[in-house]
Structures are given as structure tokens and as C-alpha cells.
Structure 1
């Protein structure tokens, strides 16, 4: 991969392409990714930390043979790192959750090679967060250098496209101002309105939805066992062994082959166990279902679910209701429960906009995609408006949220 050239030689700003996050100094990376954690607290975004991205690399979940080849960027000013970006060379469009399969098909029907392409992202993680990680005090300079560097790497290597997925709204707006194409998609998030407990959240729902949640929670609790909430040192190897079985089953059904290697969960246990909430259902001495969450400073991120036995409403309890209850008890502001899923609407999760950026060097291809994105944005805006109106909250509560 050809390196990016100096972003601004006069200001001594340069962008370097690394052979993996493991080649970066962890403290230097995290000074850009999560400066708020320097006081010993949690990062806002656990997924862009050095330890999470390194766990993907060390476990072989990304790297040779996976279609995710890490080539992160570092921006330097006078030799000091002022920004970083988790950049990957992609050999397919799997594990992204911002779908460009139609673009790939169109480009290849026209005789081009869509792959490899470049992706600034957290692999297999549809969670919004900063993708251009900048050291405080260098926001504009570092963002511009990293964005320009990623574009330059795309064009210098004659690649079809660059994609920045699940970035923040501010990054999308800054990227559009710099000439990249912005895209809007949607997810379902739960927002904590300072509820003192789960019953207070239920009180905000319409009567019918409130009864439905109570019915589902009662169904789930009748599965014949107990539900455990584990974090930190309370998580043991046997818990990961059980969850790996769940994850394999879900991965095989959804994706054909699970994205994450078994060793990834061992790496998480070693370096991130305090950032994990593992919810397990145990029946007759056996774990039968589980949900894995990552804990940010103000957000709980639901990531994976699986089971070896089917029990009514147990999925809703472990993935959605337990997450809400835990977030309320620990003062978190929101729960992000992953990609897609209109079934989340009835359970208190409302639609929100997600953002991405795209660069396509070919002018004709760019114009076609730009037209598509303009039409898509209007459709997504309408969907969010309509779905919000069908949400489970009492009418006054919906008006307050808007």
C-alpha cells in the first residue's frame, strides 16, 4: 500500500500508513482515541481504543485471509502524533452494516474492480463513534490531514472507493464540506430520560406497550432457570466457552461463518473485562443463552446474542430489557442495540440517524452514487419520522423526545 504524502509540508503535517494497530504505541493511539479516559475513567467509545482494535488483530479476526487488512493512519505535526484513523483494506463488503453491494455490482458490471477498497471503520461493529481520532486542540488540523490522507491513499493506489462508516454527524458534515459524499442510515437506540428505575421507564409507555413488556419479561423469567449479569473478574473462562457456542450458532445462521475468532474473547477477557457486560441464562446447570455488551462512559452497546435452547421472549429479556435495566441502574444515557431491527421499536428503542462518508474517484460513478444517496436520504428521513410516530411511548413523551 502506497503511503500518503505530507498533508501540509509548510506546517510539517504528515500522514503515515502503519502495518496494523499493533505497530502503534497504545498510549499514543489512546491519546487521540479516548483522551477522556486519561483520568482512569471509561472511554466514551470502547471500540476505537487500542486494546479493542489490537484484540481483533492478535486474535486473527482481522488480517491476512479475512478481507480486513489493517492499515491505520497516523497524522503527525512536527513529529508529534495529533490524529489516528482505523483504516482497513477490504476484499469484500462483509461485516460493515452500511451496505454497498449494489455499488460493487454496478462497478463490476461496468468492467471495474470494486475490491480492494478502503474502509475507515471498526470491523464488525455498527456503533457510532469518531472515526478520525484527533488529539484535543488539533481537531480541524488532524481531521483534515487524516481525511486528505485517506483520499490520497485511495487515489494513489487506484482503488475504487473509500468508505467511512458509522462516523459522527459532525464528521459527516465536515467530510461533506471537504467534498466527500455523506450518507444517512438508521438504527434503533434507547435513551435514558433520567428514569430512576425500570418501572419509571414502563410508566412512560402507552398502556398496551407497557402490558406487552411486562408479559414478555414474565415469559422470559419462566424459562426454568436464572439470569446472570457478569462483568470484570466475575467473568470466567467457562462463561466465554458458553458464549462462544452461542456466537458460533448465530454467526453460522446470519453470516455463514462467524467473523470473530475464539481467541478474540480471550483477548477481551485479558484487556477489556471491565468494559464488558455478559448476560447469561442458566438452566439446570447449563448455560442456554447469552448476550454480550460493551460498556462506554455513557452508553451500553449491545453486540452479540446466541442460544442453544429456544424459550419465549428470552431474546428480548437478555438483549433489550436487561440492557435498559442495567443502563438505568448505572446511570448510562443510552443503549445502542446494534444494526437494524424494527422489532426493537415496541421495546422502547426509537429510530435515529447514522452517518457515513464515501469517496469515489471516478466522476461518473460518483455522480450516480450521489443521486442515489440524495433519494435515499429523503426516504430514511421519512422512515424515521413515521417509525417514531408508531413508537411505544405515550404521545406527550414522544413530543418531548422530538
Structure 2
């Protein structure tokens, strides 16, 4: 990697044996590592699995991005045009592999970081990792991902359900459910797409349990992607966006009230601010209208082989797939540092640090309506700039110092 200026050369000297550690080899971690190296700062990506892009590898086969190829690329490398406008899961994984290779990123796989602490003198960060390792770094970027730990609600009677109950993270394809009566729980994009996949893939009956009526958007309208509107909408207040979004929904989408999905009572942007993104329609509306997906009330409990719904109805699906989201899983890692909110998310993210944790950054822990990959790409250079500003003055290479590719330093 070329170092572009005397300032960047000095930054490299400052982090030669005390690198900036990036925890997580997904899009956010890789993009931030590239942005740091572009400033001459040594960045070491620590990935707990054997490959980059682990969370994307685990998604269901049907998955395609709802964001356009151009608006989903990470800094420094475009996504190939051959991958199409809506990039498939496997193509995105190939892109992430190529990204790490193209930028010659320093990625160490098979290393899971369990805890992050300040060093005794407060000058560095100490990462306690698998195998008893302790790594010392000048700064830390946590990029372990929004979808880290599958969340399966503790439904009364759930452990005694005589059918099959799995989290959506274990769903890959419809084949194992062919000929079955299946209930999908959760009305986000994952739940909607799995329901469509099952309906098209041979399940005899597919029901979708909905607690709060979701907003639904066309992926494109006359060729114009909904993401382009979302990029603009994110900068505007809900009282401007929500009435316009409601009007557009009435003009472009059929009324599904007769099928159990009335128009939402709350605004689209207001809901998105609470973390509930709209369903991007990739066949969902058509399947609901055709009766291939039946909308039912939310799940309240289980009773033997039955599922009890919020409206009192009892149904007996053979399989239940819970598209009930994920937890961030940050508490064991950094919860003791006072940097997390009550819901387990970072108090600050991007280029900002918590007041009592200078040099500790987070990326990828919001779920923006404008597209996760787009915002990760925008966050990366901002974080890199903040990290570079926060490094101490160049002190020259330490004894035994070398190039940016040397092995991480361990504490003690």
C-alpha cells in the first residue's frame, strides 16, 4: 500500500507495533480498515470465523440487496456490473473477499475478541481474545455487526412445542419445508422474504404472524429505486416525509386491508427511527393478494403442538420460523466501559467516541432507511480521520519495528 504523505508516514510509524484493531470482518470492518490504511495507519482486522463476510454467508439463499449496486459499494472498489443492479448474497460475499484481497488488508481469521479494556496507563487498548491472547492497540473499531446474536423470544410453552421451531438465521431454502404448514413470525424484510420463498418453494400453507402492521415499499417505481428516495428522506423531518410516503403508498400499492394488512397508522420515517424498516416488496404483495401468504395475529404462546395467537386463535403449524431479529451482543465485549445504552447499542457511533473511552469507535450499529452498506461506506473515512487525529505524535519506529504487515503485539 502506498503511503501518500509525510503526515501519513508519521501515522504509520505511530501504529507499526500498536495497530488499530478492527473487530469484525464484515463490510463495516473491511471498509474502515481500508480507510485507515489509506491514511497510512496500520489496521488489523480480527474476524472470529474463518472467512470475511461471515454474517452474509449465513443468510438465506434467496437474499438480494434491496439497495442498488452503485449505492452498496464500499470505498475504493466498485461492485462489478456483472452482478446486476440487485446484488445476490453469493455475489456480495465474493465482492467482500475481493475487497480484502484488492486492498491487501491485514485480516486475521479465527480470532474472537471477548473483552476490550484500557491499558493500565490509559494510553492503549488491550483486547483479550481466544487462545488466551492479549493484543495491544492504539485504538479499536468495533464492527461486529447489527445482526450478531439471533434473538428468539421466550414464548410461554415454546420449549415444549412438538413441531419444529427455529430462528430465521437457520433458514436457507424452502426445500425442507415442502408439503408443510409453516408459520413465519415477524413482519420485517426477512420474515416477508422467507414467507415468499416458502410460498413459491412448495410449502402447502404459509402464514405470517404480524404484531405491528409494516409499511411496504415498491423496490422501484418506474425504474426509480426506493433507496434513492430514502437517501433524501433521511435528511428530512418525519412531518415532511411521512405524509408524502403515505400518499405514494396509496398511489403505487394496493390496499391489503382485506388480507389482514391495513394501511399503517404511524408514519414511515417515524417508524424507521424506532428501528422498524419498511418491507421492500420483492413478491410479497402479490403473494398476499393471491392468498399464498396468510396474515395472522402475533404469537402469544405455545401449547403442545399449537400456537396461540394474540386474537385467541389457535393454529397447528408443523414448523415455525422466527424472524424476530438479532441482538447486538456487545455487553460482554464493552459493557463494562459505560459505552452502551440500555438497549445494548452504542451510545455513540461513527467518528465520535464516548467521553470516557477515547479511541474506541463503533460502526454498523444503526439500521438506516438509506441502506446499511451505504452508511458503512460513508462512516469508514470519517472514523479513519478521527482515529488519525487522535493518535499521539510520531515517535519513530520502536526497536524491532517493521512494515505494516508484522504480527500483532501481545500484552505482557
Question: Which TM class, normalised by the smaller chain length?
Answer: under 0.3
More helix by share: 1
Q: Greater RCO between the two (CA within 8 Å, min separation 6)?
A: 2
- Name which one, 1 or 2, has greater alpha-carbon Rg: 2
**TM-score, normalization by structure 2:** 0.25
TM-score (norm 1): 0.25
